[in-house]
Amino acid sequence: MRQAARLFGSGALLALLMAGSGSADPDHDDLIVNGEIDMIERAPAPPYVEAFDEIISGWSFRSDETQALQMDDFDNPGMLGVERARVMFDTPMGSGGQACSSCHETPEALRGVRATYPKWDEERQTVQTVEMQVNECLTERMGAEPLGYDSPEMVDMAALIASVSRGMVVNVAIDGPARPVWEQGRELYYTRFGQLELACANCHEDNAGRMIRADHLSQGQINGFPTYRLNNAALISVHNRFRGCIRDTRAETFPVGSPELVALELYVASRGNGLTVEGPAVRN
Amino acid sequence: MAENVTPRVRVPETATAGEAVLIKTLISHPMESGQRKDAQGNTIPRSIINRFTCDFNGQNVIDVTLEPAISTNPYFEFEAQVNESGTFVFTWYDDDGSVYEERKEIAVS
């Protein structure tokens, strides 16, 4: 199966080259952010990702100009959200008069969080995303109102939490009690949705590296989320992106924060085990 | 009235006389074009940064007129030749009358 897929892939590439439209392969540029954070753009695929030998960051699929925006925090518009979240981090919220910094001191204390989420939560007996964890802090420890799962404030906070883990290797656990949720996510990944009857895998496995009209299809890795999308001129959460993809298949989508999208996030995140945390990345 | 407007500037701290230094500026601003309508069909009023200037020791370096088609968070990158130590003054003019100013020192040897 794997062999056949590869043969088919190289045949298509040859046809493209012969047609003179040039290679649509991701490039081999090296991503170093601020001249100091050296990212891993390519890594051996985890054993459960059968379609690829190598997993590749979405950054490698973008144009040089878009790539450059992520290489310097000054140029990265996603860092504006990170700055807003830094202010929020020190702002007391809720009945306890506490801020995030009352417990966590600085955002840097949360270094490493992004690399292992979504994660099984023993206390809650469920898989928790970073967003769910933020709301748990807000409602249960700080006596504050929860943030909307996909609200600008939440996306900013998620971007801040991702930013302090940049350069760390994604290492999401898929064994133990998280296993059934991971399997549900895998099931969703290969399920065809909508009038167009497309599964995630139809674009991001079968056609990764090819052009879908003017856009260069990536492997759909989520190590760069929340991502500043030039398309939206805003930071976009991973669930928002999932919804966009499912909507494009002309399907009814799952709500942000739903168990289905949490399961899908766990599965897709695990497909990037070995790449580095890039959020907030810059993409199309 | 635009909210959360924060100017950011990057200027090297030192340079040699006669050197052309690279300057980067960014201001967070929605740059509402005045062409869009809200859900009720009402025009959303235009709210943009309409002018950006940079001066060095009282001498103008760049003076830009911005138009509504410029996208959110306008970014400028340019070079300025510096012959002496001094101060760069960056000024952004908002449609609502606000003026945002940022200053950066540079030591020239």
Taking Cα atoms as reference points, which of A81, A61, A13 lies closest to residue A234?
Answer: A81
ipTM of the complex as predicted: 0.76
Task: Assign domain A41-282 to a CATH class.
Answer: mainly alpha
Question: Which of the residues A24, A245, A251, A260 is marked catalytic?
Answer: A245
Whether B1 is covered by a domain: the verdict is no
Whether B13 is covered by a domain: the verdict is yes
Q: What is the pLDDT of residue A96?
A: 86
Q: Is the pLDDT of residue B89 over 50?
A: yes
Bond preceding residue A226 cis, omega within 30 of 0? yes
Q: What is the pLDDT of residue A15?
A: 42
Q: Is the pLDDT of residue B3 over 90?
A: no
Q: What is the pLDDT of residue B1?
A: 59
Which of A6-15, A243-252, B24-33, B56-65 is least confident?
A: A6-15
If you average pLDDT over residues B37-49, what whole number do you get?
95
Mean pLDDT by 10 residues, chain A (284 residues): 46 41 73 93 96 95 94 93 95 93 95 96 95 96 95 97 97 96 97 96 95 92 96 94 96 96 97 96 95
Cα of B57 to nearest chain A Cα, Å:
25
If you average pLDDT over residues B20-35, what whole number do you get?
94
Which helix (H) or strand (E) element contains residue A9?
helix A2-18
DSSP annotation of A127 reads E
Q: Is the pLDDT of residue B109 over 50?
A: yes
Chain A residues within an 8 Å CB radius of B10: 74
DSSP annotation of A93 reads B
Which of B6, B24, B71 minimises the CB distance to A74? B24
Mutate to test the interface with B, among A71, A76, A80 (most CBs of B within 10 A): A80
Q: Which residue range is the domain that position B63 belongs to?
A: 6-108
Whether B73 is covered by a domain: the verdict is yes
Distances (CA, A) of B30 to A167, A235, B27: 30, 14, 10
Which of B4, B6, B73 minimises the CB distance to A77? B73
CATH code, B43:
2.60.40.10
Which of B4, B24, B75 minimises the CB distance to A84? B4
What residues of chain A, 213 to 242, have a C-beta less than 8 Å from chain B? 233
- A77 — contact with chain B (CB < 8 Å)? yes
What are all long-range contacts of A12-21, with beta carbons under 8 Å and residues at least 24 apart?
A12/A210
Distance of alpha carbon A5 from its chain centroid, rounded? Answer: 25
Q: What is the pLDDT of residue A25?
A: 82
Cα of B73 to nearest chain A Cα, Å:
8
Using CA coordinates, name the residue in chain A closest to B28.
A80
Structure tokens at B52: 């950006």
Mutate to test the interface with A, among B5, B23, B31, B72 (most CBs of A within 10 A): B72
Report the distance separating Cα A143 and Cα A181, nearest Å. Answer: 29
Whether B58 is covered by a domain: the verdict is yes
Q: What is the pLDDT of residue B4?
A: 77
- A140 — contact with chain B (CB < 8 Å)? no
Distances (CA, A) of A253 to A43, A132, A222, A247, A248: 31, 20, 18, 6, 10
Report the distance separating Cα B57 and Cα B84, nearest Å. Answer: 9
| Domain regions of chain A by residue span | 41-282
Active-site residue A245, yes or no?
Answer: yes
Q: What is the pLDDT of residue A200?
A: 96
Q: How many domains does chain B have?
A: 1
